[in-house]
Structure 1
């Protein structure tokens, strides 16, 4: 029992890290995906208010015309708050007279109240002043902010709005987030959804193919070089992996932009200067595949090189005695024994590319014209950096949640298709 508790104690930092950095973000993504959270709603709840612009949408709801008219043409009521403001801005005697004769009385129109203000013993003589004084007693919900649902419903009753419309108006006026499944319905309806999915599929397949093939080429070619020279080449090709992404993409920008290396060299031959990365979508995709490809290929090179070195040298010596050349060694000895490393790199790189977007963000930001916008980048733009200014946390989380389910499905498919259970089983000699 003591040893078990000790083992749990040693594992607790790892368990806590997994919960905080993996399980909690996934759980929050699931929660946010079923809400309409955005910059306008906030994440801590909201209040209740109806502004002038929202009035235009009321006829589309199941609200009576009388309610809409009541909101648009608010009444007027003589209240202590209005009298205090009247005394401060105009005349205390006028306010006192109005209090004695009309406190609590309501008027349906501004004109009726202005007539009263004109006929007082201490009247407000100027027409403009009477209009401003009348506004001090306006009873309206428009532009007012109510912190709770109870306060808003009470204001609806005070304004004289039909109780039948209270529920609809309360839901309409709420500015906070609510639970909803509309995010997924919107994903199915938007034309951009299919484009982002196609972009992601192309990005993953093209970059993965480059990663595996070029990584294998580097590993095999450096295997046959002298040791010191091979290590030098591996170190050079590993640079894209260890360079900070910003610096690495900045180097590509210097290489491809209209004032960069390619444009300068091509200018010597009379070719007009242009941005070779962003000139067309084909240029952009070529740059993206190469940028991400060299990063992935460097990791593949290290893994494949280690796997090749694990092959018994006696097999290679025996093949040379039998007259095998380099290509025959690669085809019949090296590649057959690279099955598991290739399968691992395929599965790892697929899942990594499916959710990665930082190099695309830094290089093209999804351009030109959203032609290189992949699914993960669309989730980032929607939730954290969109062009409209209203960050849609819930909708962006819905994008991300789709990737979570795709990643889980691909993981299960890889485990079954590549038979990783066989890889983890004991050698037959030990069974």
Structure 2
């Protein structure tokens, strides 16, 4: 099916992606070669252009000798032009340019209507029995179909993207929540001035532009960066700590995104801890509770709402975010860190061959929405949301 958005109103366009799709659907090799290769047809459009460039007499003689003639190569077209007697095009360069006036290529040419596209493939010598398959593939308008869903589940890379996403979200979420809680609790017991300083430092990843933030990590991890240079002093050979192996890549990706997410958790958890009545903490100290007991029996129970929010928010954010991975490893080495959202971006918007598969990319994105809804419902159940919003028993 088409890979276009359909915004243009349903034109007909064949590109390399479409050719590959037709091959997968069983279109014979000879027809595929015809579609990929340019042909030359002596038609009215070409004759008009020839008359404008080389004169009416030349176009008239060409019409008389070769009207509606079809040629499979530019050399054959040049020979046809060379056969002119009264109005020769003597220069080889001019004959080559004149031959291009009659060039017909179905590849990457837009046709506004189905009839014009059918005419073009007929003139290109495409067998009639192949027309329907080609027309369906070339249509760029909206088509309600589940073909992209079937393709999504049939791609061998789909399982890899799902596994990478599970690893990425799980490890980064654990780092975000755990490290954010650690920062919030540890700074809570510091003097106010010191606590504010440490929180400001740890909030830097959140306020830095992503490009600058990732560039700092590259400076740390490249084979000419800070870590490699420092370790070289004790005889460790310099390597790219970001991309040397897939394990290195995953560690760096989790640290980059984890430090970024933990800064938000630190701020929210710190605010929630400060909202706990100080009288409760003072009373626990009078009863002989140490700080670990305060954390376990007072602070953590009061953080159920913030933990629910951060867990849900960070899960949805990690499912859909890919900018830090794109800027750091770009899904590498190989596809080791290519997560689902990054794959959707590459498929739909960043194909170096120019064959942007909007439909398949959108299918990847819709799958993320469904996964996000399921994850949200799971968190509401896991944290016992109904109990959290129930009226206090004293009001009952």
Classify the TM-score, shorter chain. Answer: 0.7 to 0.9
TM-score (norm 2): 0.76
Q: 1:42 to 1:280 in 2, by over 3 A?
A: farther
- Partners in 1 of 2:51 and 2:361 — Cα distance? 50
Question: Displacement of 1:37 after TM fit?
Answer: 2.4
CA contact (8 A) 2:50 2:58 kept: no
For residue 167 of structure 2, what is the aligned residue in structure 1? 202
For residue 251 of structure 2, what is the aligned residue in structure 1? 286
**1:222-233 matches, cutoff 5 A:** 222-233=187-198
- Partners in 2 of 1:372 and 1:83 — Cα distance? 55
Alignment counterpart, residue 316 of structure 2, candidates 351, 356, 368: 351
Q: 1:139 to 1:390 in 2, by over 3 A?
A: closer
Alignment counterpart, residue 377 of structure 1, candidates 342, 348, 354: 342
Secondary structure at the aligned position of 1:394 is classed as helix
CA contact (8 A) 1:49 1:141 kept: no
CA contact (8 A) 1:200 1:375 kept: yes
Secondary structure at the aligned position of 2:303 is classed as helix
Question: Displacement of 1:409 after TM fit?
Answer: 1.4
Deviates more, 1:391-400 or 1:80-89: 80-89
Q: 1:271 to 1:323 in 2, by over 3 A?
A: same
- Partners in 2 of 1:368 and 1:98 — Cα distance? 58
| In the alignment, structure 1 residue 182 sits paired with structure 2 residue 147 | yes
For residue 325 of structure 2, what is the aligned residue in structure 1? 360
Q: 1:272 to 1:148 in 2, by over 3 A?
A: same
Question: Displacement of 1:183 after TM fit?
Answer: 1.8
| In the alignment, structure 1 residue 403 sits paired with structure 2 residue 371 | no
Q: 1:139 to 1:168 in 2, by over 3 A?
A: farther
Q: 1:266 to 1:335 in 2, by over 3 A?
A: same
Q: Provide, for residues 250-295 of structure 1, a one-character-per-residue CA deviation record: whole Å limited to 9, x for no partner.
A: 1111111111111111111111111111111111111111111112
CA contact (8 A) 2:161 2:339 kept: yes
Q: 1:413 to 1:140 in 2, by over 3 A?
A: same
| In the alignment, structure 1 residue 393 sits paired with structure 2 residue 358 | yes
- Partners in 2 of 1:87 and 1:250 — Cα distance? 56
Question: Displacement of 1:46 after TM fit?
Answer: 2.4
Q: 1:363 to 1:72 in 2, by over 3 A?
A: closer
* Alignment gaps of 5+ in structure 2: none
* RMSD over aligned Cα atoms: 4.6
Q: Provide, for residues 203-247 of structure 1, a one-character-per-residue CA deviation record: whole Å limited to 9, x for no partner.
A: 111111111111111111111112222222122212222222111
Alignment counterpart, residue 263 of structure 1, candidates 220, 228, 232: 228
TM-score (norm 1): 0.70
Alignment counterpart, residue 338 of structure 1, candidates 279, 303, 313: 303
Q: 1:166 to 1:291 in 2, by over 3 A?
A: closer
For residue 252 of structure 1, what is the aligned residue in structure 2? 217
Question: Displacement of 1:406 after TM fit?
Answer: 0.6
Question: Displacement of 1:418 after TM fit?
Answer: 2.1
CA contact (8 A) 1:63 1:168 kept: no
For residue 278 of structure 2, what is the aligned residue in structure 1? 313
How many residue pairs get aligned? The number is 376
- Partners in 2 of 1:330 and 1:336 — Cα distance? 9
Q: Provide, for residues 8-44 of structure 1, a one-character-per-residue CA deviation record: whole Å limited to 9, x for no partner.
A: xxxxxxxxxxxxxxxxxxxxxxxxxxx63249x9844
* Alignment gaps of 5+ in structure 1: 1-34
For residue 36 of structure 1, what is the aligned residue in structure 2? 2
Alignment counterpart, residue 275 of structure 1, candidates 235, 240, 243: 240
Q: 1:233 to 1:177 in 2, by over 3 A?
A: same
Higher-Rg structure is: 1
**1:107-256 matches, cutoff 5 A:** 147-153=112-118, 167-168=132-133, 170-171=135-136, 174=138, 176-177=140-141, 179=143, 180-256=145-221
